[in-house]
Structure formats: C-alpha cells, structure tokens
C-alpha cells in the first residue's frame, strides 16, 4: 500500500453535538441546595451551591422566595433608630420604636407616644435593650439608662445609672458595659452592675464594677457586652477576646472573670447575639459560634463578601431566629447606595443565603406579634370611641423580620407573606427580584466544548410568573438571554423545560424573576453533552 510522501496540513474538525452515540447527561443544580458560596472559584463551586442568590431562603430546606415588605403606618417625621417587640409577663405584645426624639408603640392603626421627656439621640444612635421584670431597660450610649413601664405607658430616666453602650440583666442586676462615669469619663473596658433587684442603685451594698484591662495585643480591648447563657454564667465579649463571667455567691464580690478565648476580634456592638448554648459573634474576619467546645468558624463560604472593604462592620446587626435555627446578619455599606444586604446562616445545615432590599436598613429584629385592635374595629356602641384599647390584640399573628429604614422620614416595615413587592426608602412599592446563579460548567479537557441540549427545572409558584433564564460564557461578566419562560401557578411541584441548543467553551446559568409570589426552585437541570471534541 503506498504511503503519503508529504505531511498533510492540520485542520480541526468538530463532531456534531447531536451525533448518535454521544451521551447526553443531566447536570443537576440546587438539588438539594447548599446555599451561597462566593469564596470558591466559580469553576470549583459545587453544583448544589449558588455563586449568587437573591431573596431565596432555605427556611424549609429548599430555595423558597422570601416574603415581601409592607409598612407599619406612615413615615415618621423623625429618623427611626430602633424597633422591636416586647412581650410582657401576661403575654401582651408591644411593638415599639425609637425615633431621635420619641419612644412609641403601635396601637393597631397609628404610632402613639409613651409619656416621658428628655430622650434625644442622633439618627446613628445604637440602642441596647434588656428586660427588667415587666419593664424594658434601654440605653443609647449618650444620654443614660432608661426604662419603659408598659402598664403606665411611660418611659423614665434611671438617673443614678451611668451612661453605657450595652445593658443586660444577669443575677437579678442591671449589668452595664462600655461605661461613661460622672467622674472619670469613658471607661471602655469597664463592666458595672447594680444592687440586686434595683436597677437604679449603683453605689449600694452589692453593686460594683470590674475593669478588664488586659489585652492580647497592642490595642485596648474595649468592652462590647455581657450575654448570659444560663443562671450562673455569662459570656463577656470584648473587642479582642471572650471571657466568662460567673456568679460567686458573695455579696461584696458577686462575679468572677476568666479569659476563655483571646484573639477573637470584633468591632460590632450589635454583632453579637445569644443563641441556645452560647453566642454568635461577627468578628473582623469571620463569623463565630461560641459554644461549649470553643469558637467555631462558620463564615468561610461568604467571607470575601462579608468582609469586603466597602462594608461597615461596626454598624452590623445580628439576630437569632429560633424557629428556623438561623442567624440573620445585616452588614451595611460605608457608602449608602439605597440597597441593603441581609445574610442568613442556617446553623443545622451550615448554609448561607442572601436577601437584598431597596432601602438602607438602620436596624432589624424578629417579630411574632398580634396587632393591636383599634376601638373603631369593635362592634357596638364602643365603636363610637376613638383610639385603642391597650393590650387588646387580634388573632392575626405577624411573624418574620421587622426593619427600620435609615434617615429622615423613617419607616418601620415588616415581612408580609401576601406581598410580592418591597418598599424603597420613601415607602413606595419596589420590585422584589429573585435570582439563583450556578457555578461554571466546563469540559474535562481543552479539546472539548459544552453543548446544552435542553434545560429542565422543577418549581412551585403561588401565582403565574415569568422566569428569565440567562447564560454567560465569560465567567459571569456578561449575560445573554437563553429563554423567557411563562410559568403557571402550581398546586404541586411541577417540571418545565426549554429546548434550545447552545455550545460554548464553558457556561454558567442564572434564572431570575421580578413578579413572583411563593416561588420555590427545587432543581435546575441542564442536559449537556461534553462533546464537540477536536479531531486531529
């Protein structure tokens, strides 16, 4: 047989991606979902994880749309600095808010003032609260310690207490941290406590203070707060360490202090929250759960996002949701842009999600609250009266997150499962987009391409909606529409599919919508051929 006498020129030839014999494989994403991962390279993110995730939580273990937002009443003439729900001993629930000049409660239809005077703060004030019997203590780090009496509908200044940044109740005493004394000024390392059973006596028998002046570094280890974890022990969080504060039983030295964990640093006075068995702390470079076995790092999956230099960690706020066993962490930006990022960490699963809001958040808290009923809502002659009956509640329970907006003309707003929209900073309606973005699909070798044959996804929706599916071939820098899919409301998990062929060197997908209600994304499955092999 003759042999060639010259070398044939090389020419690449691609196989037909639909050629018989090539295996079409499903690449399943988000089933089950593992939350957000913004730290790993996009080519190494697990298919169960998302590289971007907006307004899809994992409260039931699956990616489910968060509730929309509705306001409590109209805007305030003052900036709002704080809001929470207080539950009294008889079960009565009070929705309270603090403005720069007032302390108020929600009466069911309007915000009403607690009677009192002298309370004035700036809009960047940080409010700390603690229950004292059937009353609520609060401090703002500038004007002193105050107390709300819900029976009398008043608030009063506890004039014998020094100014402090954080207040807690431990061993039947008011315990104050980061104290400013009348004589001596600011004592940043000080913990001061009251006489037992008297939160306005700081000089009598049994009162006292402790200055934790030691530091594991060349900076002052300022006091953040005291967080009781049981009847005899509390954890003391400082700027660079965590200590244990224990009851001794001696009236003249009621507490002992022990250094537990040095070199855990935090700048966030509102970034620590008590959780079952310990505390959670937003540090300077990680999020820690501090339990019996020591600090546990849990922030690795979104570390680069949380600790971006543009974030304002000092004003971050952390809360704990016992129902879903999740941490809720709001991290504001140094330069406010009209949007807020709130992160959720599901402790039992070790997974993160992210919510985005169309306003600058000042503070957030959790509520499980029955709205007050206005007198005019009652039947009979009493309906001719005006105002509200204090403590009277309706059967409707409002559970979820409570937010205050930053700046003048502030709003208190709540999650509402019947709402498909958010609010902006003025109280006007704004869209609530959802988004889930995959990592990169890429072939095993440089001699192959990725061929998309079909895309299927399983979803649930409470209303008809439109889902936009896009792809990126350049690592997420630019996005092109793959398909726009009209989805019908469902009563059970439903599968939809899009048959559109696509071939690229590598590919990412994202799906989004701006008009959904009760939407769940149970799985997202491109059917692919890692084919188109170059023949030499």
pLDDT of residue 160: 97
pLDDT at 217 over 80: no
pLDDT of residue 388: 46
Q: Is the residue at 196 inside a domain? A: no
Average confidence score pLDDT of the chain = 89
What is the mean predicted confidence (pLDDT) over 299-325? 96
Each residue's pLDDT tens digit, 148-191: 999 999 999 999 999 999 999 999 999 999 999 999 999 999 99
Q: Is the residue at 502 inside a domain? A: yes
Assign 23 a pLDDT band (cuts: 50, 70, 90): confident
DSSP 91-105: S-EEEEEEESS-EEE
Assigned token pair, 402: 């409570």
Assign 407 a pLDDT band (cuts: 50, 70, 90): confident
Each residue's pLDDT tens digit, 76-134: 989 999 999 999 888 888 999 999 999 999 998 999 999 999 999 999 999 999 999 99
CATH assignment at residue 48 = 2.60.120.260
pLDDT of residue 16: 44
For residue 32, whether the previous peptide bond is cis, meaning omega lies within 30 degrees of 0, is yes
Residue scoring higher pLDDT (448 or 3): 448
DSSP 192-257: EE-BTTBTT-SSSTT-EEEE----SSSS---EEEEEE-SSSEEEEEESSEEEEEEE-S-TTS-EEE
pLDDT of residue 383: 46
Assign 9 a pLDDT band (cuts: 50, 70, 90): very low
**CA–CA distance, 80 with 316 (Å, rounded to integer):** 16
Q: Is the residue at 76 inside a domain? A: no
Residues ≥6 apart with Cβ < 8 Å to 249: none
8 Å CB contact between 298 and 287 = yes
8 Å CB contact between 143 and 120 = yes
Burial class (CB in 10 A: 0-12, 13-18, 19+), 376: middle
Residues ≥6 apart with Cβ < 8 Å to 470: 479, 480, 481, 482, 509, 510, 511, 512
What is the mean predicted confidence (pLDDT) over 270-279? 96
Assigned token pair, 528: 């692919």
Question: What totals of helices (H) and strands (E) does the chain contain, helices first?
Answer: 1, 44
Assign 534 a pLDDT band (cuts: 50, 70, 90): very low
Residue scoring higher pLDDT (138 or 214): 138
Alpha carbon of 388 to those of 265, 370, 379, 391: distances in Å? 47, 14, 14, 9
**CA–CA distance, 347 with 42 (Å, rounded to integer):** 24
Could you tell me the residue range of the domain that residue 524 belongs to?
A: 13-66+435-535
pLDDT at 376 over 90: no
8 Å CB contact between 71 and 425 = no
Helix (H) or strand (E) holding 303: helix 303-306
Q: Is the residue at 469 inside a domain? A: yes
pLDDT at 421 over 80: yes
Query: Which of the 8 DSSP states describes residue 121?
Result: -
Each residue's pLDDT tens digit, 492-530: 999 999 999 999 999 999 999 998 889 999 999 999 886
What is the mean predicted confidence (pLDDT) over 252-272? 94
Q: Is the residue at 247 inside a domain? A: no
Residues ≥6 apart with Cβ < 8 Å to 302: 36, 37, 38, 39, 343, 352, 354
Phi, psi of 316, deg, nearest 5 = -70, 155
**pTM (two decimals):** 0.89
Domain count, the chain: 1
pLDDT at 215 over 80: no
What is the mean predicted confidence (pLDDT) over 354-383? 69
pLDDT of residue 531: 58
Q: Is the residue at 330 inside a domain? A: no
8 Å CB contact between 426 and 405 = no
Residue scoring higher pLDDT (9 or 317): 317
In the numeric block, the tokens 């700048």 are attached to 267
Q: Is the residue at 468 inside a domain? A: yes
Assign 59 a pLDDT band (cuts: 50, 70, 90): confident
Q: Is the residue at 509 inside a domain? A: yes
Each residue's pLDDT tens digit, 325-347: 999 999 999 999 999 999 999 99
């Amino acid at each position: 047989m003759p042999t060639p006498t010259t070398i044939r020129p090389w020419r690449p030839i691609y196989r037909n991606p639909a050629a018989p014999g090539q295996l079409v494989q499903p690449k399943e994403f988000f089933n089950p979902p593992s939350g957000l991962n913004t730290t790993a390279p996009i080519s190494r993110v697990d298919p169960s994880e998302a590289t971007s995730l907006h307004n899809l939580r994992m409260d039931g273990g699956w990616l489910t749309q968060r509730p929309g937002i509705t306001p409590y009443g109209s805007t305030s003439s003052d900036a709002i600095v704080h809001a929470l729900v207080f539950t009294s001993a008889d079960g009565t629930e009070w929705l309270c808010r603090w403005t720069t000049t007032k302390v108020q409660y929600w009466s069911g239809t309007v915000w009403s003032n607690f009677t009192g005077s002298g309370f004035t703060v700036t809009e960047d004030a940080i409010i700390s609260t603690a229950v004292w019997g059937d009353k609520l203590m609060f401090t703002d780090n500038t004007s002193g310690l105050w107390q709300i009496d819900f029976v009398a509908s008043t608030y009063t200044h506890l004039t014998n207490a020094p100014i402090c940044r954080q207040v807690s109740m431990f061993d039947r005493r008011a315990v104050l941290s980061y104290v400013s004394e009348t004589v001596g000024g600011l004592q940043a390392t000080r913990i001061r406590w009251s006489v037992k059973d008297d939160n306005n006596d700081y000089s009598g028998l049994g009162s006292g203070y402790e200055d934790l002046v030691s530091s594991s570094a060349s900076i002052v280890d300022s006091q953040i707060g005291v967080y009781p974890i049981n009847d005899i022990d509390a954890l003391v969080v400082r700027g660079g360490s965590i200590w244990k504060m224990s009851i001794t039983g001696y009236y003249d030295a009621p507490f002992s202090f022990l250094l537990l964990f040095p070199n855990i640093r935090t700048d966030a006075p509102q970034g620590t929250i008590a959780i079952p068995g310990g505390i959670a702390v937003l540090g300077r470079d990680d999020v820690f759960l501090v339990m019996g076995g020591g600090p546990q790092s849990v922030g690795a999956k979104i570390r680069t996002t949380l600790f971006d230099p543009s974030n304002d960690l000092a004003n971050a706020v952390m809360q704990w949701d016992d129902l879903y066993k999740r941490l809720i962490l709001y991290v504001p930006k140094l330069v406010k842009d009209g949007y807020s990022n709130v992160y959720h960490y599901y402790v039992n699963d070790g997974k993160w999600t992210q919510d985005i809001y169309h306003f600058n958040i000042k503070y957030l808290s959790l509520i499980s609250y029955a709205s007050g009923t206005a007198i005019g809502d009652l039947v009979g002659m009493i309906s001719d009266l005006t105002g509200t009956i204090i403590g009277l509640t309706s059967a409707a329970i409002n559970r979820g997150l409570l937010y205050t907006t930053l700046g003048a003309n502030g709003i208190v707003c709540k999650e509402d499962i019947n709402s498909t929209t958010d609010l902006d900073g003025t109280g006007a309606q704004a869209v609530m987009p959802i988004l889930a973005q995959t990592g990169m699909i890429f072939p095993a070798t440089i001699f192959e391409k990725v061929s998309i044959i079909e895309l299927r996804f399983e979803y649930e929706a409470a209303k008809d909606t439109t889902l936009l599916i896009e792809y990126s071939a350049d690592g997420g820098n630019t996005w092109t529409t793959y398909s726009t899919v009209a989805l019908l409301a469902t009563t059970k998990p439903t599968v939809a599919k899009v048959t559109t062929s696509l071939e690229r060197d590598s590919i990412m997908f994202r799906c989004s919508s701006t008009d959904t209600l009760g939407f769940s994304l149970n799985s997202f499955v491109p059917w692919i051929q890692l084919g188109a092999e170059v023949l030499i």
